[in-house]
Structure 1
Amino acid sequence: MTSINAFLLLGGLLLFVSVLASTLSARLGLPLLLLFLFVGMLAGEEGVGGIVFHDFSTGMFVGQLALAVILLDGGLRTRIETFRVALWPAAVLATWGVVGTTLLLGLFATWLLDVHWSLALLLAAIVGSTDAAAVFSLLRNSGVRLNDRVKSTLEIESGANDPMAILLVTVMVEVLLQPDNASLPRFALLLITQMGLGALAGVAGGWVLARLLARLRLAEGLYALLIVSGGLMVFAATNALGGSGFLAVYLAGLVVGNKRCHATEHVLRVMDGLAWLAQAGMFLILGLLVTPSHLLEHAWYALAMACFLMLVARPLAVWLGLLPFHFARNEVLYISWVGLRGAVPIVLAIYPLMMGVPNSLLLFDVAFAVVIVSLLVQGATVPTAARWLGVVVPPRDEPVDRMEVWVGHSAALDLMEYRVAAGARAEGRHPDELVADEAGDKARCVAVVRHGNLLRTSAATRLEVGDSVWLAAPDELAEPLARAFAGGAGNELIAHAGFFGEFVVDPQCPAGELAAAYGFELDPDENALALATMFRRRLGRPPVEGDKLSIGSFVLTVRAMDHAGHITQMGLKCPTLPRLL
């Protein structure tokens, strides 16, 4: 019992310290995942904790379990609409992107490390894929809002590229250990099996779990356990059948998350904590596995590998992969830069160790060091690079909080909280009068909270700065209502005018009429087209909010889109006139 208590005390202490360190992470601008990793290293055999832990099989088990939970959570939070603009680009990066990066990095590693090409390619394959845990965590906590094309491409790529990375690592291990059995047809069959079974099992498993979630009546806390246990079953069963469990569990989460029901919010709240626990536990264990002095021995090799990966191999593979999709140059550069490495390369590096590949400890140490450099350099610059490369769009006007209350099997009520800011249109208005003016009969005021107490409204009630107002309203009114509570009167014409332009224009108006009104020229065959149609034709790719099109000295910008991918609002920025002296 003493040893069990000591183990529980140690595990709890490490997690406790890691969570407290998260406040330091925000101040220093370091990725939280990196701090979990450092806490594990400090507790290890050469750190202050002095814990000797070389159980790579346990590390592999914890890593796979944690990654399954993280991918499930990532799928649950991915909206199916993101596939409209990013499915094919992300699919290319999840396949060719990994292969191209591996080949380029493998050639460089062969020269740098002076090892056989097969061992160098194995190392390149280990670090060749982006990491879902790192990408999901850092993008969603970066504090900036990326345009949907970039964000969706990065998230879908990281959730879907593990099968290719695992295949390449498996292939290279087999080439090293059993070269006579290696053949191209066998590897092609293995890839088709991995991707095909993974996709089939993921969609089928997700459909079953979604049906169960909608039909069963359970205690609130059990819904998330149902999804987690079901997701792990899908993961394990797919792996046992020879498919990609990582792809399967991500797709299962995607299906469940997009078939919303009365239990979806319960699942998402609990899954958020479980995903953080999985990330913290995984990086702590991986940190315990490494020996810092070994990292220092290979530090220059790892630094050179990381620099080549970040500055040459990944950018070149991404540029070639995205050529057919007409991404803007700044978008390609940002996607290239946010090729974050995390737990996946470290877990993959354990596989050669367990299989007895010669020099596999070198692979593990170099891969670990590459991950640290990636998180330290790329992870810490995710928001800065986004602003510098111009892939950020202004934040949406959103409620302070929102809740989804299900009143039947297929009917839900959206409750949204807004806070009255100084100078807002809501200030000094009766809540019912304000809601009627802004939303007609589509919204209702449910409650007003003032100084932490529920306010009983009357005909004389007027909203004051700092009041919290709870409204029942459909999701499409969330932003328009938010502007009524925002400071500066929430004027739609001046909100983010520097980005979207000074004027709001109807995307369905004939392009020729707008050109005649403002004095810019279009091609003759564009005059009769709707403005949105002309914009799409010139852009050459599915538009997203924030896309810009220059017509002479004028700039058209997509201000808003609906869930079907149609442009609903556009902004027009006029040229700056020279000042007259």
Structure 2
Amino acid sequence: MTGINALFLLTGLLLFISVLASTVSARLGLPLLLLFLGVGMLAGEDGPGGIVFEDFFFASMIGQAALAVILLDGGLRTRVSSFRVALKPAAVLATWGVVGTAALLGVFATWLLDVDWRLGLLLAAIVGSTDAAAVFALLRNSGVRLNERVQATLEIESGANDPMAILLVTALVGMLLQPESASVGGFAWLLTTQLGLGAVLGLAGGWVLSRLMARLSLPEGLYALLILSGGMLVFAATNLLNGSGFLAVYLAGVVVGNRRSHATEHVLRVMDGLAWLAQAGMFVVLGMLVVPSELLDHAWESVAMAVFLMLVARPLAVAIGLWPFRYKRNELAYVSWVGLRGAVPVVLAIFPVVMGVPDSRLLFDVAFAVVLLSLLVQGATVPMAARWLKVEVPPRDEPRDKREVWVDEEAAVDLLEYRVAAGSRAEGRHPDEVADDFEGIGVRCVALVRSGHLHRLTLDTRMIPGDSVWFVAPDELAERIARVFGGTGGELSANASFFGEFVVDPSCLASDLADAYGLDIGADERVKPVGTLLEHRLGRAAVVGDRVQIGAFTLTVREMTDKGVITAIGLKCPALGLIR
């Protein structure tokens, strides 16, 4: 019993320290995942903890289970509309991007380490894919809002590129251990089964889980366990059938997350905590597995590999893969830079060690060092690079909080909370007056909280700065209502520097806009609606933040529906901007 309790104490202590370390992460500007790794390394053989941990098989099992949970949570939060914008380019990066990066880096690694070319390619394949845990965590907690094309590309790529990486590693391990059995046909069949079974079983499993979640009547705490256990069933069953469990569990999460029901909000809240637990546990275990002193034996080779990967191999593979999709140069640069490495390369580096590949410990140490450098350099610069490369868009005007009250299996009422800001259009008004601004659309005030207490609404009630006001309102009005409570006092001025001083209806004719502002456009474009003109000049699917320059004026996509229809366009007039 003493040994079991000591194990529980150690596990709880390491996770407790990891969670406390998260409070330091933002202040230091370091990725939280790097701190989790640091806690594990300090607890390990070379650290103050002095724990000798060399069970690669157990670490691999923990890593794969944790990645399944993280991918499930990432899928739950991925909107289907993201696939409209970035499915094809992300699919190219998830396949060609991994192969191209591995090929370029493999040649470099073979020359640098002076090893067999198969071993060099194996090392490159291990670190060739981006990591879902790192990408999801850093993009969603970096404090920046990227344009949808860039964010969707990175998220879908990281969620879908594991099959190709696993396939390359498996094939190269086979070539090293049993070269006589390796064949192109076997490689192609393995790729087909991995991707095909992963996609089919993932979508089917997600459909079943979403139906169960909507139809079953369970205690609230059990819905998240239903989705978690179901996701792990999909993951394990797909792996047993030689499909990609990682792809399957991600797609299952996408299906469940986009078929909202009365239990969806609760599932998301619980899964968020479970995903953080999985990340913390996985990175702490992987940190304990490494021996820092051994990393120093190959320090300069690891640095050279990381630099070549970040500045040559990944950018070239991204540029070639995304060239047909007309990404801008700054978008290509950012997608290249945020090719974050994390737990996946470390877990993949464990495979050769477990399989007994010669020099596999060298591969593990170099791969781990490359991951550390990627998290330290690329991970810490995610927000700064977004601003420098101008791929971020202003934060949405959003409610402070949002709750769903389900009144039937297929019907829900949205409760939106707003905080009254000084100088806003809401200050000094009765909440019902704000609701009347949206007359006929079902906006009603249900509560006003002042100084932490529920304030009784009377005819004389007037909102003051700091009040929290709750409305029943359709979700599509959330941003419009938020602008009433914003501190700038105007609907456009908060984002005028980015979107422009005026809002243009995309259905109005370009000729009307040209005549009003003196825009220089051709006769064939004058008969088009402004939205159509903008999309024609872009030459690709539009996202919020896309811009078209017409002379001295700038048209910017301001708002869109989930189906990709432009609903508002910003017009920036340089002369008026200077006057302001």
TM-score scaled to structure 1, two decimals? 0.99
Q: Distance between the aligned counterparts of 1:139 and 1:251, measured in 2?
A: 19
Do structure 1's residue 574 and structure 2's residue 573 form an aligned pair?
Answer: yes
**Alpha-carbon contact 2:501-2:577 (below 8 Å) kept:** no
Do structure 1's residue 123 and structure 2's residue 114 form an aligned pair?
Answer: no
Residue of structure 1 equivalent to 2:538: 539
Q: State the shift of 1:493 in Å.
A: 3.0
Residue of structure 2 equivalent to 1:494: 493
* 2:295 maps to amino acid: L
Q: Distance between the aligned counterparts of 2:541 and 2:569, measured in 1?
A: 15
* 1:443 maps to amino acid: V
Q: State the shift of 1:579 in Å.
A: 8.9
Query: What secondary structure, in the 3-state scheme, does the structure 1 residue paired with 2:575 have?
Result: coil
Residue of structure 2 equivalent to 1:375: 375
Q: Distance between the aligned counterparts of 1:360 and 1:175, measured in 2?
A: 14
Q: State the shift of 1:103 in Å.
A: 0.2
* 1:78 maps to amino acid: T
Q: Give matches, 1:384-533, under 5 Å.
A: 384-489=384-489, 491-533=490-532
Q: State the shift of 1:440 in Å.
A: 4.2
* 2:358 maps to amino acid: P
- 1:76-98 deviations in whole A, cap 9, x for unaligned? 01010111110000000000000
**Alpha-carbon contact 1:545-1:559 (below 8 Å) kept:** yes
* Structure-2 change in CA distance of 1:405 and 1:221 (3 Å): same
* Structure-2 change in CA distance of 1:430 and 1:578 (3 Å): closer
Q: Distance between the aligned counterparts of 1:353 and 1:410, measured in 2?
A: 51
Residue of structure 2 equivalent to 1:141: 141
Q: State the shift of 1:464 in Å.
A: 1.0
* 1:240 maps to amino acid: L
Q: State the shift of 1:578 in Å.
A: 11
**Alpha-carbon contact 1:439-1:481 (below 8 Å) kept:** no
Q: Distance between the aligned counterparts of 2:517 and 2:460, measured in 1?
A: 47
- 1:239-288 deviations in whole A, cap 9, x for unaligned? 00010000000000000001100011111111000000000000000000
* 2:519 maps to amino acid: F
**Alpha-carbon contact 1:303-1:370 (below 8 Å) kept:** yes
Q: State the shift of 1:506 in Å.
A: 1.0
Q: Distance between the aligned counterparts of 1:103 and 1:514, measured in 2?
A: 51
Residue of structure 2 equivalent to 1:194: 194
Q: Give matches, 1:294-305, under 5 Å.
A: 294-305=294-305
Q: State the shift of 1:7 in Å.
A: 0.3
Q: Distance between the aligned counterparts of 2:43 and 2:342, measured in 1?
A: 19
Q: Could you tell which deviates more after superposition, 568-577 or 294-303? A: 568-577
Query: What secondary structure, in the 3-state scheme, does the structure 2 residue paired with 1:488 have?
Result: coil
* 2:434 maps to amino acid: L
Q: Distance between the aligned counterparts of 1:166 and 1:325, measured in 2?
A: 26
* 1:179 maps to amino acid: P
Q: Distance between the aligned counterparts of 1:124 and 1:570, measured in 2?
A: 45
* 2:263 maps to amino acid: A
* Structure-2 change in CA distance of 1:363 and 1:405 (3 Å): same
* 1:524 maps to amino acid: A
**Alpha-carbon contact 1:90-1:156 (below 8 Å) kept:** yes
Q: Distance between the aligned counterparts of 2:474 and 2:578, measured in 1?
A: 46
Task: Specify every segment of 5 or more residues in structure 1 that has no aligned partner in the other structure, as ranges.
Answer: none
Percentage of matched positions with identical amino acids: 71
Q: Could you tell which deviates more after superposition, 438-447 or 325-334? A: 438-447
Residue of structure 1 equivalent to 2:548: 549
**Alpha-carbon contact 1:194-1:244 (below 8 Å) kept:** yes
Residue of structure 1 equivalent to 2:363: 363
Residue of structure 1 equivalent to 2:56: 56
Residue of structure 1 equivalent to 2:330: 330
* Structure-2 change in CA distance of 1:431 and 1:579 (3 Å): closer
Do structure 1's residue 206 and structure 2's residue 238 form an aligned pair?
Answer: no
Q: State the shift of 1:433 in Å.
A: 1.6
**Alpha-carbon contact 1:102-1:128 (below 8 Å) kept:** yes
Q: Could you tell which deviates more after superposition, 437-446 or 197-206? A: 437-446
* Structure-2 change in CA distance of 1:498 and 1:303 (3 Å): same
Q: Distance between the aligned counterparts of 2:532 and 2:283, measured in 1?
A: 48
Q: Distance between the aligned counterparts of 1:579 and 1:429, measured in 2?
A: 33
- 1:532-576 deviations in whole A, cap 9, x for unaligned? 111111101100000000111111100110111011000111233
* 1:546 maps to amino acid: G
Q: State the shift of 1:185 in Å.
A: 1.1
Residue of structure 2 equivalent to 1:35: 35
- 1:460-512 deviations in whole A, cap 9, x for unaligned? 111111110000101111001001111121x1232211111111111111112
Query: What secondary structure, in the 3-state scheme, does the structure 2 residue paired with 1:129 have?
Result: coil
Q: Distance between the aligned counterparts of 1:405 and 1:431, measured in 2?
A: 21
Residue of structure 1 equivalent to 2:156: 156
- 1:72-127 deviations in whole A, cap 9, x for unaligned? 00000101011111000000000000000000000100111011110000000000
Do structure 1's residue 310 and structure 2's residue 305 form an aligned pair?
Answer: no
Residue of structure 2 equivalent to 1:240: 240
Q: Distance between the aligned counterparts of 2:511 and 2:204, measured in 1?
A: 49
Q: State the shift of 1:2 in Å.
A: 0.2
Residue of structure 2 equivalent to 1:263: 263
Q: Distance between the aligned counterparts of 2:518 and 2:575, measured in 1?
A: 14
Q: Could you tell which deviates more after superposition, 502-511 or 40-49? A: 502-511
Q: Distance between the aligned counterparts of 2:464 and 2:184, measured in 1?
A: 71
* 2:561 maps to amino acid: D
Q: Distance between the aligned counterparts of 1:534 and 1:455, measured in 2?
A: 50
Q: State the shift of 1:445 in Å.
A: 0.4
**Alpha-carbon contact 1:213-1:263 (below 8 Å) kept:** yes
Q: Distance between the aligned counterparts of 1:499 and 1:26, measured in 2?
A: 26
Q: Distance between the aligned counterparts of 1:47 and 1:543, measured in 2?
A: 51
Q: Distance between the aligned counterparts of 1:478 and 1:578, measured in 2?
A: 28
* 2:305 maps to amino acid: M
Q: Distance between the aligned counterparts of 2:187 and 2:441, measured in 1?
A: 61
Query: What secondary structure, in the 3-state scheme, does the structure 2 residue paired with 1:298 have?
Result: helix
Q: State the shift of 1:320 in Å.
A: 0.3
* 2:67 maps to amino acid: L
* 1:177 maps to amino acid: L
* 2:70 maps to amino acid: I
Query: What secondary structure, in the 3-state scheme, does the structure 1 residue paired with 2:388 have?
Result: helix
Query: What secondary structure, in the 3-state scheme, does the structure 1 residue paired with 2:449 have?
Result: strand
Q: Distance between the aligned counterparts of 2:237 and 2:391, measured in 1?
A: 40
- In the alignment of these two chains, the number of paired residues is 579
Q: State the shift of 1:57 in Å.
A: 0.5
Residue of structure 2 equivalent to 1:96: 96
**Alpha-carbon contact 1:439-1:477 (below 8 Å) kept:** no
Query: What secondary structure, in the 3-state scheme, does the structure 1 residue paired with 2:544 have?
Result: coil
Q: State the shift of 1:441 in Å.
A: 4.3
Q: Distance between the aligned counterparts of 1:260 and 1:494, measured in 2?
A: 34
Query: What secondary structure, in the 3-state scheme, does the structure 1 residue paired with 2:542 have?
Result: coil
Q: Distance between the aligned counterparts of 2:575 and 2:419, measured in 1?
A: 36
Query: What secondary structure, in the 3-state scheme, does the structure 2 residue paired with 1:395 have?
Result: coil
Q: Distance between the aligned counterparts of 1:378 and 1:200, measured in 2?
A: 34
- 1:177-217 deviations in whole A, cap 9, x for unaligned? 11111111110011000000000000000011111101111
* Structure-2 change in CA distance of 1:439 and 1:419 (3 Å): farther
* Structure-2 change in CA distance of 1:577 and 1:220 (3 Å): closer
**Alpha-carbon contact 1:413-1:472 (below 8 Å) kept:** yes
Do structure 1's residue 254 and structure 2's residue 251 form an aligned pair?
Answer: no
Q: Distance between the aligned counterparts of 2:209 and 2:553, measured in 1?
A: 51
Residue of structure 2 equivalent to 1:292: 292
Task: Specify every segment of 5 or more residues in structure 2 that has no aligned partner in the other structure, as ranges.
Answer: none
Q: State the shift of 1:577 in Å.
A: 7.8
CA RMSD of aligned residues (A): 1.1
